[in-house]
Amino acid sequence: MSEHRLDAGDCLEAVIEDPAGSTVRHARDQATGTWTTYRHPHARRPWPAAYGHLPGTYNPIDDDALDVIVLSSMPLRTGQRVRVRPIGVFVRPDGDHKVLAVRCNDPRYGGVVDLLQAPAEDLRAIEEWFADWDIVLGWESAEVAWQLIRSATGARDEPL
């Protein structure tokens, strides 16, 4: 397990899979290191924010790393590693919750440390994107995001 202490307000690394505005999914083939692109099975509109995962975490619900939605005023590309600060959790009915984070040092979002500071229009756009194909249960706080991340790092021996 990583010796990095995970504290609220900390930044950690995320890997971007789908840039904001994308209408397709991108997946990295672990064996070859290449990215494949395929039609998102549920998307009816472009992603309202960047989407990716938190390396070094494990989510048993989907047998993969924790998913992260990243708010950034700068374009982020597939495969880009970026420092993010978790600020909340988008709650899913199937338990595959999504960490909401902001890009650290971002001119617009860099100072955001909690869900209550996130622009309401961004949260609404994310809710509407998921509502096209899933039940929206709402949001949880930054504290819940950090609890989820701490729990998800206990099953892996990779640094964040």
pLDDT at residue number 73: 97
Tens digit of each residue's pLDDT (9 = 90 or more) over 16-47: 999 999 988 888 887 888 888 878 777 778 99
- pTM here is 0.88
CATH number for 69: 3.90.80.10
Q: What CA–CA distance (Å, rounded) separates 89 from 43? A: 20
Q: Is the pLDDT of residue 3 over 50?
A: no
Q: Is residue 6 a part of any domain in this protein?
A: no
Q: CB neighbours (10 Å) of residue 45? A: 11
Q: Is 46 a domain residue?
A: yes
Identify whether 86 is part of a domain.
yes
Arithmetic mean of pLDDT, 87-109: 96
Instruction: Determine, yes or no, domain membership for 4.
Output: no
Identify the pLDDT of residue 19: 96
**What pLDDT score was predicted for residue 8?**
55
Among candidate residues 116, 90, 99, 92, the one with its CA nearest the CA of residue 153: 99
- What percent of the chain clears pLDDT 90, i.e. is strictly above it? 70
Residue-wise DSSP of 39-97? E-SS-SS--SSEEEEEEEEEETTTTEEEEEEEE-SS---TT-EEEEEEEEEE--TTS--
The Cα 80–Cα 78 span in angstroms is 6
Does a structural domain hold residue 133?
yes
Q: What is the pLDDT of residue 132?
A: 87
Express as a percent the part of the chain with pLDDT over 70. Answer: 91
Residue 5 binned pLDDT confidence (cut-offs 50, 70, 90): very low
Give residue 160's pLDDT: 43
Considering the domain boundaries, does residue 42 fall inside one?
Answer: yes
Domain count, the chain: 1
What does pLDDT average to over the chain?
A: 89
Write out the residue range of the structural domain in which residue 81 sits: 12-153
Question: What does the alpha-carbon distance between residue 17 and residue 36 come to, in Å, rounded to a whole number?
Answer: 10
Helix (H) or strand (E) holding 37: strand 35-39
Residue 99 has pLDDT above 50, yes or no: yes
